[in-house]
Amino acid sequence: MHYSSFGIKLIIISLLIIGLLVPQISLMGLISERASWRNEAYHSIGQSWPGQQTLAGPVLIIPYSLTYDSKEKIREKDGTERIITKSIHQDDTFFLIPKKLTIKSKLDSSLRYRGIYEVPVYGNQLQINGLFDTQPLLDLIKLHKNKEFRMETPLLSVLVSDQRGIASPPSLKWDNRNLAFKPGSQLPNASAGMHTYLPELRADTVQQFSFAFDLQLRGMSAMNFALLSENSKVSLFADWAHPKFTGELLPESRDINQQGFSAEWLASSFSYNVSDSLEGCRQGQCASLLNRAVGFELLQPVDVYHQSERSVKYAILFVLLTFVVMVLFELLKGLRIHPVQYALVGIGLTVFYLLLISLSEHISFVWAYSLAALAISTLLASYFGAILKSRTLGLMLGGGLLLLYSLLYFILQAEDKALLMGSLLIFALLAALMLSTRHLDWYALTNKLSPTLPNK
């Protein structure tokens, strides 16, 4: 029976590759843990600073009552029937949205810190104006023309998801009157915001009211606008260079540069089917007014944990390629590399990702990646030079590894084409390996390194 020491070594190397999956899985867990700590930092800052904001409104709220007579047939004890008249009283609320709404927003951002983590916060200077038309109210009155219709004092309500963000008490210009806002929206299940009572409305003619107010609103990470109007326009200017637009409508126009971004949204009541949200508010679910909105998030320029997670997915490829090159040197140069040396090289390749994660929490990702790649490539170049007994070969292998790290960095930066670039890289490496070894006599090489032991 013959035993191939080289075949046994290949089995050991394969087991090493499988074993190195364990620390790589642990690295994925470490990344998730550090990301959760960052989320806790967000939550911690959110406890002492207003959170993500959504602005909805203004909405004109008109409480009213209906009184009317209703005839009802009843049956007496003796079996006879007669008709009685009952007086019915009903209380309800009518919600009127602006015919036109214009919002101008100027957002100034800054950073807040918890430990090593930073969170973007902002102060938003809002100029809001528009026009109300009471034609829908008159249509409602005509619908109940045979009933006594009585309106209560109307009020204007503005919803804000986190009322702590209202920096100073705003005032409302209602036609030619100046009115002060009071805390609270006065809406069920959506109390955060502000309101003010308005002069009585006329029930016999259509009225139009212009309105305007300025609002200083603070928040964190994201800002949304619920466009409750027949025709809405939002113009936004911000000094943050990395926005992510969210919501049910993307901006009609936008411009993003290193100094910040601008965007403009146009929407109508048909775009959002506002009537459904208002009907939900009539049923006591006014929080639904905040659900359908447009807006943006302030993204971090580089999510170090997302980038690190993507880079770890290529770890097994780096280990496999490095081990293949080491095996080829064993075959071609007649060298003997011990499995322990394979293991040390594999551990070194894995430590790269640990360095990357830890450094990127304190310096920029590009510098963290560069330092980690340079450190591991230098270490392994020195080690390869020792085990291969050639400083030149060590430098070549270290340089090749550094080149692979450089290619991986470009793949990480090209998120939209990462799969394509990664696939092409693997194909190119496989093609290079196949072409460079196509004339090798593998049987002769393995027999040279695998002495046959006699049967016992």
Return the domain boundaries, the chain: 2-39+303-448, 52-298
Residue type, 44: S
316 pLDDT more than 80: yes
Name which residue leads in pLDDT, 260 or 85: 260
- Give the pLDDT confidence score for residue 211 in this predicted structure: 92
Cα separation, 227 vs 219, in Å, equals: 19
Tell me if 6 sits within 8 A of 449, measured CB to CB: yes
Q: Does residue 104 register a pLDDT over 90?
A: yes
* Structural Rg of the chain based on CA atoms: 35
**Distance (Å) of CA 367 to CA 68, 90, 303, 324, 442:** 77, 69, 14, 29, 43
SS (H, E, C) the chain: CCCCHHHHHHHHHHHHHHHCHHHHHHHHHHHHHHHHHHHHHHHHHHHHCCCCEEEEEEEEEEEEEEEEEEEEEEECCCCCEEEEEEEEEEEEEEEECCCEEEEEEEEEEEEEEECCEEEEEEEEEEEEEEEEECHHHHHHHHHCCCCEEEECCCEEEEEECCHHHECCCCEEEECCEEEECEECCCCCCCCCEEEEECCCCCCCCCCEEEEEEEEEEEEECEEEEECCCCEEEEEEEECCCCEEEEECCCCCEEEEECCEEEEEEEEEHHHHCHHHHHHHHHCCCHHHHHCCCEEEEECCCCCHHHHHHHHHCCHHHHHHHHHHHHHHHHHHHCCCCCHHHHHHHHHHHHHHHHHHHHHHCCCCHHHHHHHHHHHHHHHHHHHHHHHCCCHHHHHHHHHHHHHHHHHHHHHHHCHHHHHHHHHHHHHHHHHHHHHHCCCCCHHHHHHHHCCCCCCC
Q: Is the pLDDT of residue 1 over 60?
A: no
Rounded Cα gap, residues 286 and 300, in angstroms? 33
Looking at residue 447, its pLDDT comes to 62
The residue that leads in pLDDT, 397 or 4, is: 397
| 427-431-434 Cα angle (round to 5) | 140
Higher model confidence: residue 428 or residue 172? 172
Question: What pLDDT band is residue 4 in, cutting at 50, 70 and 90?
Answer: low
Q: What is the mean pLDDT of residues 10-29?
A: 83
Nearest to 321 by CA among 211, 251, 405: 405
pLDDT of residue 415: 63
Identify the band that residue 453 occupies on the pLDDT scale cut at 50, 70 and 90.
very low
The structure tokens listed for 164 are 């702590």
Model confidence over 426-449: pLDDT tens digits?
787 778 777 777 766 666 656 655
Cα 123 from Cα 127, distance rounded (Å): 13
Q: Which of 340, 359, 349 is nearest to 322 (CA)?
A: 349
Query: Which pTM value belongs to this model?
Result: 0.71
Looking at residue 308, its pLDDT comes to 81
Whether the pLDDT of residue 2 is over 60: the answer is no
What mean pLDDT, rounded, does the chain reach? 81
Contact 316, 21 (CB under 8 A): yes
Give me the amino acid identity at 233: K
> For position 374, what pLDDT does the model report?
92
**Is 5's pLDDT higher than 80?**
no
What are residue 83's DSSP bridge partners?
Answer: 73
High-pLDDT (> 70) share of the chain, %: 83
User: Tell me, what's the pLDDT at 36?
Assistant: 82
Tell me the pLDDT tens digit for each residue of 44-83.
Answer: 777 778 888 888 879 888 888 877 666 666 776 666 776 6
Residue 456's pLDDT is 44
Q: What is the spatial distance between Cα 326 and Cα 320, in angstroms, rounded to a whole number? A: 10
pLDDT band per the 50, 70, 90 thresholds, residue 3: very low
In angstroms, rounded to a whole number, what is the distance separating the alpha carbons of residues 247 and 312? 32
pLDDT at site 440: 65
First-to-final CA distance of the chain: 8
Interval 17-29 mean pLDDT? 84
31: closest CA among 347, 358, 298? 358
Answer yes or no: is pLDDT of 397 > 60: yes
Q: Are 322 and 388 a contacting pair, CB within 8 Å?
A: no
**What distance in Å separates the CA atoms of residue 53 and residue 183, rounded to the nearest whole number?**
16
Model confidence at 237, pLDDT cuts 50, 70, 90, reads very high
Residue 226's beta-bridge partner residues? Answer: 56
Instruction: Let me know: does 57 contact 228? Beta carbons within 8 Å.
Output: yes
Residue 78, both tokens: 């003796």
pLDDT tens-digit series, residues 180-236: 888 888 777 777 888 899 888 887 888 888 999 999 999 888 889 988 888 889 999
Q: How far from the centroid of its chain's Cα atoms is residue 28's Cα?
A: 20
Top-confidence residue, 343 or 414: 343
Q: What is the pLDDT of residues 272-305, one digit of tens each?
A: 667 666 766 666 666 667 777 888 888 876 677 7
